[in-house]
């Protein structure tokens, strides 16, 4: 199983001292968090993509390319890439380029974006969110899989004899996840292509996640990609830890009470009971995270949100230490011991390349067999 | 025999409140009418005051806490709805509106609704017509012709007699008639159900 962090990239005032980081500080902090994630033994760093304040990551491949150059093992991903307002041609180019520079340590998570005013800035309309996600992604897949593409659709100028360059590394497109909170169409999309499905999970009741993942698994099997329990599932999670549970609650409460998403609403206690948020000791985080498996089944990727609500970088790095030293090693062992042999791990560039070669070899030997058969018939 | 359910939403703030008193009288009169039609009736009284925090939290977080989720399902799954609010500043109370803002736009479509209100003076009575009726019409509910407003003078003597009594009975008759004639409610829609398959999505709306 893969473990990592995902970041929204928000610039938020620290409610305990009124300090707001500059955009530059926040960008550098995101990079520091990514480098730290590798240092403490995590597998994945995923950045959000936004085109409006108070968010900084408008150019994910610039940031991920820089992180790629400064890391060795870390898998670089997104949470999410806006498949609605980005040109799919540019996504194909940018992420193939990143794939080469990062030696294949790249995958992506598609998302729609839920901020209405952003769409028209890019010539689109939020009311077309689902149709845009469907059409753009279908084109993106073709651009990565077909050397020359002729294409015509509803939302973008047609393509004549277009070749997206560079071609994907080893002719293996990056693995794709589709992220959604409660749009059954997106679970259906992920299932149709046999892609991964990532349930945001955080800020929402577990019941949403259970229903969405259940639908995705059922449709994954329907479309013939394997049994329902072999579908590729990722989950978000949100934690704040200190060695003593009470210290965690005391320190996190002002951040919780003023957080952009849920602040000034439910109490910390209500929200931790209703959603995956865990504020407490590393052991409490371990227990709650292991419990996710009870309602989504064996899954492949767990990303944690650590750096939001104005938490200072120093605190976030301490969280990463606890995660890497005390939480993830236990989770790795426990989840692995529970995973049945027929449930796959998350695809990586290496595993996808091996699978592509194996199927090419299969085809070649079938062709040989056909030739031999023809000769025998003579 | 099917039991017909009536959700009785009251947005009164004081306890006891005249809003709840009016809601109870409308509910009892409707129940009696339905029993007269040979129906079995289950009343589901809902005091919004008890869910005030959960209502605000849902507005902020986008999902209901469990007790509020159950109440929303009671409303969207009922055969008929009685909705009564105090009139504040010439319109429904903020709590009343906030609650119905959490009801999906098509969740009570076609369902009969009896609207009622209470106020400090009879001069507020048309708020029923210019505020409550359009809101429920937007929700595509069937708002019954008789809306019931109770002013302080209607309560004189402690129980609703005379003009108010006759309005309550007329409104209850209308609601009971609608509920009696309609097929039983099918219960709340499933927001996670897949309504289209992917080939269809891929072909787009024009195909």
pLDDT at A372: 55
B159 pLDDT band, cuts 50/70/90, is low
State whether A189 and B65 contact (CB < 8 Å). no
Select from A138, A205, A219 the Cβ nearest to the Cβ of B63.
Answer: A205
pLDDT at B163: 87
Q: Say which DSSP state A327 is in.
A: I
Choice between A178 and B194, residue whose per-residue pLDDT is larger:
A178
In this structure, is residue A365 part of a structural domain? Answer: no
A178 pLDDT band, cuts 50/70/90, is very high
Across residues A311-338, what is the average pLDDT? 98
pLDDT at A370: 61
- ipTM entry: 0.85
Q: How many domains does chain A have?
A: 1
In this structure, is residue A223 part of a structural domain? Answer: yes
Residue A21, domain CATH: 3.20.20.30
Best mutation target among A136, A137, A184 (most B Cβ atoms within 10 Å) is A184
Q: Residue A292 is part of which domain span?
A: 2-347
pLDDT at B19: 97
Question: Residues of B with CB below 8 A from A265's CB?
Answer: 56-57, 60-61
CB A68 within 8 A of CB A137: no
pLDDT above 90 for A187: yes
pLDDT above 80 for A378: no
pLDDT above 70 for A15: yes
* Averaged pLDDT score across all residues of chain A: 95
State whether A265 and B61 contact (CB < 8 Å). yes
Residues of chain A above pLDDT 90, percent: 93
From the list A47, A43, A106, the residue with the least C-alpha distance to A80 is A47
In this structure, is residue A85 part of a structural domain? Answer: yes
Full 3-state SS string of A262-285: CCCCCCHHHHHHHCCCEEECHHHH
In this structure, is residue A359 part of a structural domain? Answer: no
pLDDT at A369: 65
In this structure, is residue A352 part of a structural domain? Answer: no
CA distance A212 to B20: 39
Residues of chain B above pLDDT 70, percent: 96
pLDDT at A377: 44
In this structure, is residue A268 part of a structural domain? Answer: yes
Select from B194, B204, B206 the Cβ nearest to the Cβ of A184.
Answer: B194
Task: Give helix then strand counts, H and E, for chain A.
Answer: 13, 12
Q: What is the pLDDT of residues B53-82, one digit of tens each?
A: 999 999 999 999 999 999 999 999 999 999
Q: Residue B172 is part of which domain span?
A: 3-203
Across residues B93-119, what is the average pLDDT? 96
pTM over 0.90: yes
Q: How many domains does chain B have?
A: 1
In this structure, is residue A24 part of a structural domain? Answer: yes
From the list A302, A303, A202, the residue with the least C-alpha distance to A261 is A202
Question: Residues of A with CB below 8 A from B55's CB?
Answer: none
Q: What is the pLDDT of residues B8-38, one digit of tens each?
A: 999 999 988 999 999 999 999 999 999 999 9
């Amino acid at each position: 199983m893969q473990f990592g962090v995902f970041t929204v990239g928000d610039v938020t005032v620290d409610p305990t001292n009124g300090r707001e980081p500059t955009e530059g500080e926040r960008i550098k902090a995101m990079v520091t968090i990514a480098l730290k994630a590798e240092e403490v033994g995590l597998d994945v760093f995923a950045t959000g993509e936004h085109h409006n304040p108070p968010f900084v990551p408008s150019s994910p491949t610039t940031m991920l390319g820089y992180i790629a150059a400064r890391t060795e093992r870390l898998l670089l991903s997104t949470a999410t890439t806006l498949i609605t307002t980005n040109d799919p041609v540019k996504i194909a180019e940018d992420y193939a380029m990143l794939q080469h520079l990062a030696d294949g340590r790249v995958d992506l998570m598609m998302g729609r974006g839920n901020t209405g005013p952003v769409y028209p800035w890019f010539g689109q309309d939020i009311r077309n969110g689902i149709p845009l996600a469907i059409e753009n992604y279908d084109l993106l897949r073709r651009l990565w899989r077909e050397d020359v593409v002729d294409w015509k659709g509803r939302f973008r100028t047609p393509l004549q004899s277009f070749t997206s360059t560079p071609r994907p590394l080893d002719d293996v497109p990056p693995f794709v996840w589709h992220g959604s909170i409660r749009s059954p169409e997106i679970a259906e999309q992920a299932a149709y292509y046999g892609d991964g499905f990532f349930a945001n999970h955080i800020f929402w009741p577990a019941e949403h996640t259970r229903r969405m993942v259940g639908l995705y698994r059922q449709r994954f099997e329907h479309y013939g990609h394997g049994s329902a329990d072999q579908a590729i599932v990722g989950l978000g999670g949100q934690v704040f830890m200190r060695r003593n549970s009470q210290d965690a609650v005391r320190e996190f409460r002002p951040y919780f009470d003023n957080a952009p998403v849920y602040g000034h609403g439910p109490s910390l206690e209500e929200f931790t009971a209703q959603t995956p948020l865990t504020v407490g000791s590393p052991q409490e985080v371990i227990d709650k995270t292991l419990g996710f498996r009870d309602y989504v089944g064996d899954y492949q990727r767990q990303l944690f949100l650590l750096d939001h609500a104005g938490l200072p970088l120093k605190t976030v790095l301490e969280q990463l230490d606890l995660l890497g030293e005390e939480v993830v090693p236990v989770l790795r062992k426990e989840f692995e011991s529970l995973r049945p042999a027929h449930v796959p791990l998350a695809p990586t560039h290496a595993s996808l390349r091996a699978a592509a070669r194996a199927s090419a070899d299969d085809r070649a030997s079938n062709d040989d067999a056909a030739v031999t058969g023809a000769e025998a018939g003579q | 025999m099917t039991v017909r359910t009536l959700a009785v939403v009251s947005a009164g703030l004081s306890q006891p409140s005249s809003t709840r008193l009016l809601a109870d009288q409308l509910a009892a009169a409707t129940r009696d009418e339905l029993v007269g039609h040979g129906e079995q009736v289950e009343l589901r009284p809902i005091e919004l005051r008890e869910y005030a925090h959960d209502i605000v939290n849902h507005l902020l977080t986008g999902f209901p806490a469990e007790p509020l989720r159950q109440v929303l399902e009671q409303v969207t799954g009922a055969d008929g709805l009685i909705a009564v609010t105090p009139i504040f500043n010439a319109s429904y109370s903020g709590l009343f509106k906030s609650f119905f803002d959490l009801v999906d736009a098509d969740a009570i479509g076609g369902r009969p609704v009896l609207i009622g209100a209470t106020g400090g003076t009879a001069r507020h009575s048309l708020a029923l017509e210019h505020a409550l009726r359009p809101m429920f019409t937007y929700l595509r509910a069937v708002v019954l012709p008789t809306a019931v407003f109770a002013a302080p003078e209607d309560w004189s003597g402690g129980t609703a007699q005379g003009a108010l009594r006759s309005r309550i009975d007329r409104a209850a008759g209308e609601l009971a008639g609608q509920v009696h004639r309609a097929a039983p409610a099918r219960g709340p829609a499933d927001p996670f159900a897949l309504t289209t398959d992917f080939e269809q999505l891929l072909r787009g709306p024009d195909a």
